[in-house]
Chain A
């Protein structure tokens, strides 16, 4: 079962920041927060991940609350090509005990970027 809760859908105007929330209230201390997106039926694309601290890369920023029970993915200047399903996933380090390394994709948030 997915350990995260995301809104089903969101809209964003092109050029504006897209802020995608995720709740993970049962996250454990050794679990990371990952964000992926899937455009149509293409392979899921890794965006960013973090443990405690906020993270930023060339694609996005990840803001994790101090209690780690929720996070927000920020696409600073959304374009039409950012229209996709965005998945928030929590997962332990790959070599944790009994760890298959699998990613549990929930239903995600469908982000529609509009002109």
Chain B
């Protein structure tokens, strides 16, 4: 089954403790992206990647890192999480080029205490 898989689905952690949210897709998509969703603010893009080893900042990249060493994986790294990163996170992927739709994972709910 074609899917975008995020792990963990839920995480409660403390300020400053490094964490990684994994994202994996099995559709051979070139493009991958991370969004966060907050009440009243909608979904905002954090980082995106056009292909392996090609990443760039979205609208709200502060406090996050990403890597794209393999086509299928696009982990989101919070080196020193803070409470303002408490949010619902979504990973998305699509084929590159043209009008290909993005497919989203089920989300990761992070709570930073």
Please report A residues at the B interface, Cβ cutoff 8 Å.
2, 32, 34, 41-46, 49, 51, 93-95, 100-107
Whether A102 contacts B48 in the complex (CB less than 8 A), given A49-B101, A94-B96, comes out as yes
Query: Which residues of B, 24-76, contact A by the 8 Å Cβ criterion?
Result: 31, 33, 35, 37, 42-43, 45, 48, 50, 56, 58-59
Q: For the complex, what is the distance from the CA of A46 to the CA of B43, rounded to whole Å?
A: 15
Which residues of chain A are within 8 angstroms of B97 by Cβ–Cβ distance?
93-95
Q: Please give the number of chain B residues whose Cβ is less than 8 angstroms from any Cβ of chain A in the complex.
A: 30
Query: Which of A32, A43, A44, A100 is close to B45, meaning CB atoms less than 8 Å apart?
Result: A100
Whether A93 contacts B99 in the complex (CB less than 8 A), given A41-B109, A42-B107, A107-B42, comes out as yes
Which residues of chain B are within 8 angstroms of A51 by Cβ–Cβ distance?
99
A43 touches B94 (CB 8 A): no
Please report B residues at the A interface, Cβ cutoff 8 Å.
4, 31, 33, 35, 37, 42-43, 45, 48, 50, 56, 58-59, 88, 90, 92, 94, 96-107, 109
Whether A44 contacts B100 in the complex (CB less than 8 A), given A101-B48, A103-B43, A107-B42, comes out as no
Does more than half of chain B's interface fall in helix, strand or loop, or is it mixed? strand
Instruction: Report the 3 A-B pairs with minimum CB-CB distance, sorted nearest first.
Output: A43-B104, A102-B45, A46-B101
Which residues of chain B are within 8 angstroms of A105 by Cβ–Cβ distance?
42-43
A-B contact pairs, 17 of them (CB 8 A): A32-B99, A43-B4, A43-B106, A43-B107, A46-B101, A46-B103, A46-B104, A49-B101, A94-B96, A100-B45, A101-B94, A101-B102, A102-B48, A103-B45, A104-B42, A105-B42, A105-B43
Which residues of chain B are within 8 angstroms of A103 by Cβ–Cβ distance?
43, 45, 92, 102
Query: Which of B90, B98, B101 is close to A43, meaning CB atoms less than 8 Å apart?
Result: B90
Q: For the complex, what is the distance from the CA of A43 to the CA of B103, rounded to whole Å?
A: 9
